[in-house]
Amino acid sequence: MSAKGKKTRPKREGERAPKEAPKRPVGRAPEAMIMARHGTGVVTRLGRGFSKGEVAGAGLPPRLASSWGARIDERRRSVIEGNVALLKHWGGSLVAPKKTEGKAKRLEEELEKAEVEVEKEVEKVEKEAAKVGKEVKKEATRAEKAVKAKVKKPRPKAKKKKAD
């Protein structure tokens, strides 16, 4: 029995262990800084949260960053490089790169290999076609010669001159 009092079934062969939750970054989530216009100047102050662009720029999925405690401001659209650097420093190293990037590279490599194989096959077929074409021409000339040998053209008869 497990700690909650529920029965647990034994593991079967080849069964995977449950996925572990991603590690949380150490420390509190950083505060977003924004540039605000007050009067005639621009002031840097704390914002409500990071924009989606800043979170994406740091390589964090927005939901994951939110679950880790980073506040996300849905209304903001600006991307401030300082905020991106803060997020990268805070939690960027804990997120694994997307698998799709490796998959895309692998698919491109497979496509290139397939293209090379197709080119080789085309060259082989063209060589075979050239050989067959030469053989067909040779056979045709042989057949023509044989037919000509069998069928002899009759010589035109000499015309008799009429004596008037």
Taking only the tens place, the pLDDT of each residue in 54-94 is 999 988 888 888 888 899 999 999 999 999 999 988 887 67
Cα 135 from Cα 143, distance rounded (Å): 12
List of residues 6+ apart from 158 with CB closer than 8 A = none
**pLDDT, mean of residues 102-129:** 86
- The better pLDDT of the pair 122, 20 is held by 122
The C-alpha torsion from 118 through 119 and 125 to 126, rounded to 10°, is 160
What pLDDT is attached to residue 96? 58
Q: Is the whole model's pTM more than 0.75, yes or no?
A: no
List of residues 6+ apart from 127 with CB closer than 8 A = none
Residues in the chain: 164
- The better pLDDT of the pair 97, 95 is held by 95
State pLDDT tens for residues 34-50.
888 888 888 888 889 99
